[in-house]
Amino acid sequence: MAFGDGRRPAGQALKGAQELAGLPPGRWLGRGLRALGLTEGAEVSERQLELLFGEGRHPDADRIERGLLDDGVDAATARRLTVLGQPIEEIEARQQTPVLGMDFTFRPQASLVVLWALGDATVRRVIERAHERAVATALRWLEDEVAETRWASGRGRAKTPALVVAAFRHIDNRDGLPLLHEHCLILNRVQRLGADGDPVWGALDTYRLYQNVVAAGTLYTLAMTTEVCEALGLATVPREVTPGLRPVMEIAGVSEDLINWSASRRQRIEDALEVLTDQYVKDHGHLPGERGRHGLGWWAAQETRPAKKKPKPLAQLLAWWRASALLRFGQQLIDGLLGRCRAVGAAIRARVDPAVDVALAAVDVAAVFFTVREKFSRRHILAEARRHLLETLRGREFTRGLDDYITHRALLRYSRRHTVTKPGREAPAADRMT
């Protein structure tokens, strides 16, 4: 992850390997950095990764431990004082696997990746800047609305709006074709106040984080797409990727052929998914539901996954991508790509009303879920509200907080609460109700 999708030779330093591959160094994100003495946006070192995500210790444990030893503290105690939360050894002694990090990956739609790969330096800067800000927006939302720590087998819970994240930029897929994306390695350690009022380190509620991964992804897509469209004068159009599922909003003017050129693995995955789906129907007598489709899609991706490759610098990849596209589609189409997208985008933006009818939006969002789920939670409606804004505004700017307002209205007017509060217990928070 820290070195793209390739493998670095044994003994080669991480920073040198990243420079050789043309990859930017990892950077630290999240409000939880302050408790560790780290700075947001600072470079992630190899030793910090080893200590934090490999051993569950403070990223500056070496210096702290040396200072404690100089003060006369014994070696075992000095090491224990650098551990964040429960030591790995204690977890393994219970025959459990310690989980020190989770990978959340954010990537733009295929059409934006095409524009990034084939556009000039200005276009790439706009897309990369929007990508970085959208990742930060999604992480802030996870901190503000989702992140919780749990202890005493879940009996104790507390909000923890301060994550520690190591973010690593990747630029291509395993076939060497363009795929801008960000791996955000979230530390499974957060601070809370202990019984004595002092801060203590504990584990995240990882299940709760994964429950909200779709809502976080739709927020990233909405923020990323809106910023790029506003900056470059573009608009979006719906594109059906999987029959029967909601469309993906792609940049208008980027042809299906160009998208297929960049998404080299999709056809292989779709072919494998068709075989797996046929087998599922034979075994169960019916088509898979939403969760089943996601599971089969994961297996199809794993079965068609090629081996890791040797990374190439971005400059070399950009030249190869352009040459490949020119050979396949011709210079006129490639050089005129941005102009065509702007012309089509201007026509679409002229027809789009920037004001959102929230009453109609709430009806539409509720109707979508009544057709796909019997039970749902607030996070499902919130993700759909964000999709709705992207589909109706086509890349136009929107009022911040509108997704929350649509969600609240849809739940208040068009749903019935399924969660029943047990006698003598406090009612669960809105985001915990079904």
The whole-chain average pLDDT of the chain stands at 87
pLDDT at 298 over 70: no
Amino acid at 8: R
Matching residue, tokens 């801060």: 199
Q: Which residues contact 26 (CB under 8 A, 6 or more apart)?
A: 2, 43, 44, 49, 166, 167, 168
Domain ranges of the chain: 22-56+100-259+330-351, 353-434
375 near 416, Cβ under 8 Å? no
127 near 232, Cβ under 8 Å? no
Query: Residue 418 has what pLDDT?
Result: 82
147-205 pLDDT tens trace: 999 877 666 788 888 999 999 999 988 778 899 999 999 999 999 887 788 888 999 99
Strands 27-29 and 236-239: unpaired
46-81 pLDDT tens trace: 999 999 999 999 999 999 999 999 999 999 999 999
CA distances from 196 to 37, 192, 199, 200 (A): 23, 11, 9, 10
87-139 pLDDT tens trace: 999 888 888 888 999 999 999 999 999 999 999 999 999 999 999 999 999 99
Residue 4 has phi, psi (to 5 degrees) of 65, -150
Both tokens of residue 200? Answer: 């203590």
Both tokens of residue 20? Answer: 């050789």
Record the pTM. 0.88
304-363 pLDDT tens trace: 665 555 667 888 899 999 999 999 999 999 999 999 999 999 999 999 988 899 999 999
Residue 303 has phi, psi (to 5 degrees) of -65, -30
Can you say how many angstroms the Cα of residue 343 is from the centroid of all Cα atoms in its chain? 31
